[in-house]
Amino acid sequence: MIFMDVFKIEIQNRVAKVQMNRPNKKNALNSLVFKELKEIFSSPIEADAILLTGYRDDKEAFFSSGIDLEELGKIALTSQEDEIEKTLKSFQEAITSIEKCPKPVIALVQGYCYGSALEVALACDLIVSDKMTSFGMFETKLGIIPDLGGTTRLVQRVGPSSAKRIIYLADIISAQEAYHMGLIDWLLDPVAVDKEIQNILQKLLQSSPLALTAAKRTIEKIYNSELEQNLNYEKEAQMRLITGSDVKDRVLNFQKSRGK
């Protein structure tokens, strides 16, 4: 077992389990989370497949509540434009490192997966969820957009119409809805998650690791040839929003509503 500040990594039976472990903050994504994500997925991993999970114990389970709003507030309210742009780019690079990892990456999402956490899951090759999980992108309610590759990857996954519905309305999406629109690949019974995820992994591991890497690279080139350009579109649009007064007012109001 490898322990980082946020993540725990366990390699067993050719699978690296990468667990996000910030339960006191509901796995909210801050600069440290993104830093460690990039370190993990940019480094050689002695496994043939990677399982990215959230937190789970006997009482609760959650993938992540999304971006750390305290840190977002500080960025929006106090940072200079060049600092904001640098931060956005570093967060984008962290999530893109998952996609560029040569090994197949499966996201096991339970509980809830909101905002930037969904952007993380979308960078994985496959998404597995149980029937009790909920999804959502609430950025527009804060006066911003999914800017870490989430807009691009969401359109690729579910098409422009469903992507607009998710982003524009900023509603909670049930696991059943997510499955039917193609947002997730497997919808499992909560009591059978552990057994079924092992079945999925065992089927995956029957394939040649070299062939899986080649297939991942080929699919990426076919569908993601304009990724860098699209990430720049997202970053530029976000820069216009996050440096304006609307997002600052919305973040302040949200913080006040939570007693911050």
**For range 78-106, the mean pLDDT:** 92
**For range 142-164, the mean pLDDT:** 94
The region of weakest confidence among 51-55, 81-85, 143-147, 202-206 is: 81-85
CA distance 118 to 115: 5
CA distance 164 to 151: 9
CA distance 143 to 28: 19
Q: Which pLDDT does position 70 carry in this prediction?
A: 85
| Sign of the four-CA dihedral 193, 199, 204, 208 | positive
Asked if the model's pLDDT at residue 181 lies above 90, the reply is yes
Asked if the model's pLDDT at residue 255 lies above 70, the reply is no
Q: What is the percent of the chain where pLDDT is above 90?
A: 76
Task: Read off the pLDDT band of 259 (50, 70, 90).
Answer: low
Q: Which pLDDT does position 168 carry in this prediction?
A: 97
Scanning the structure block, which residue is given the tokens 């995956």? 204
The region of weakest confidence among 69-83, 108-122, 131-145, 206-220 is: 69-83
Q: What is the DSSP letter of 140?
A: G
CA distance 21 to 8: 7
Asked if the model's pLDDT at residue 31 lies above 80, the reply is yes
Classify domain 2-257 by CATH architecture.
Alpha-Beta Complex (3.90)
**For range 102-127, the mean pLDDT:** 98
**For range 171-177, the mean pLDDT:** 97
Domain segments of the chain as ranges: 2-257
Q: Which pLDDT does position 81 carry in this prediction?
A: 85
